[in-house]
Amino acid sequence: MGQNPTILVFDSGLGGLTVLREIVRARPEARYVYVADDAFFPYGHHSEEEIIGRVVPLAGDLITEHRPDLVVIACNTMSVSVMGHLRAAYAVPFVGTVPAIKPACLSSRTKRVSVLGTKATVKREYTQALIRDFAQGCEVTLVGSAELAALAETALSGGVVSDEAILAELVPCFVGASEEPERRTDTIVLACTHYPLLLDRLNRLAPWPVAWIDPAPAIARRVTSLLPESRDGPNEAEARMIFTSGRPPRMSKALMPFFGGRVLA
């Protein structure tokens, strides 16, 4: 490992930036390569076989090119489909992003938890197994959203997204009656890394207040535990952003905060 470790963060688009932001806070001295596989977006519309066929060779090319010390799969849809294949194929350590069902069920007081993810994530056996193993007596409602990731991309790119469009994806998460706070949903797992990009609007549009569970801080802690701290290098190493479609990262000003203020190389 050189002076500053290289961390490769990989998502289907801009959602993984919500994970990157927490990792950068925890490891400001690392060098970052952020890869958005926008040529294949949205992952939530692909089958498990298609995702495995896409991600395993692409990850291999990225590892060969960028020589990361650690790869973060900052995408639930990818992680619940392909992590085992990646770990079997490559020696570099991987950190995945999977629905935070265990902490959500632990903290719910009403024992009604919803998991909001892509249609692919909520369908996968990996997610079903998390519920079997960690529901801890909670009633868990799986809500597969077809559009919310794309709406988050549009919003972050400066496009207009109506409240109605967001609310339509959100409403199925709210189970129970608003006048029965002891029995209604009180916790929602953000099981797609795109959704925290819309958190202000989710809070504003929610029929009643809930706790939103974002796994990004836990992922940052996991990264920190796997990469020994490097004290020698400069405190803010370089950051790069790559779109597989080849489009240049035009909105670099809007994206800078996710990279801890770094100017993209």
Any idea which residues carry the catalytic annotation?
75, 192
Binding string, 132-151, against ligand DGL, x = CB under 6 A? -----------------x--
Does 193 engage in binding with ligand DGL (CB under 6 A)? yes
Q: Contact region for ligand DGL (CB under 6 A) — 75-83, 158-166, 207-215, 223-231?
A: 75-83
Of the candidates 48, 261, 251, the residue with the CA atom closest to the CA atom of residue 158 = 251
- Backbone φ and ψ for 259, nearest 5 degrees, come out as -100, 20
CB 41 within 8 A of CB 50: no
| Residue 49, both tokens | 């076989």
- Selected binder of ligand DGL within 192, 219, 239, 255 (CB under 6 A): 192
Does 156 engage in binding with ligand DGL (CB under 6 A)? no
How many residues at the interface with ligand DGL, by CB under 6 A?
17
Does 15 engage in binding with ligand DGL (CB under 6 A)? yes
CB-nearer residue toward ligand DGL: 5 or 54: 54
139 burial level (CB within 10 Å; 0-12, 13-18, 19+): middle
Does 121 engage in binding with ligand DGL (CB under 6 A)? yes
CA distance 113 to 101: 8
Does 118 engage in binding with ligand DGL (CB under 6 A)? yes
Q: Is the peptide bond before 42 cis (omega within 30 degrees of 0)?
A: yes
Does 68 engage in binding with ligand DGL (CB under 6 A)? no
Residue-by-residue DSSP string for 78-127: HHHHHHHHHHHH--S-EE-----HHHHHHH-SSSEEEEEEEHHHHHSHHH
- Selected binder of ligand DGL within 4, 6, 12, 185 (CB under 6 A): 12
**How near is the Cβ of 214 to ligand DGL at its closest, in Å?**
11
CA distance 169 to 187: 16
**How near is the Cβ of 231 to ligand DGL at its closest, in Å?**
33
State the CB neighbour count (10 A cutoff) for residue 149.
30
163 burial level (CB within 10 Å; 0-12, 13-18, 19+): exposed
**How near is the Cβ of 140 to ligand DGL at its closest, in Å?**
18
Q: Contact region for ligand DGL (CB under 6 A) — 54-62, 71-79, 236-244, 257-265?
A: 71-79
Contact residues toward ligand DGL (CB under 6 A) are 11-13, 15, 41-44, 75-77, 118, 121, 149, 192-194
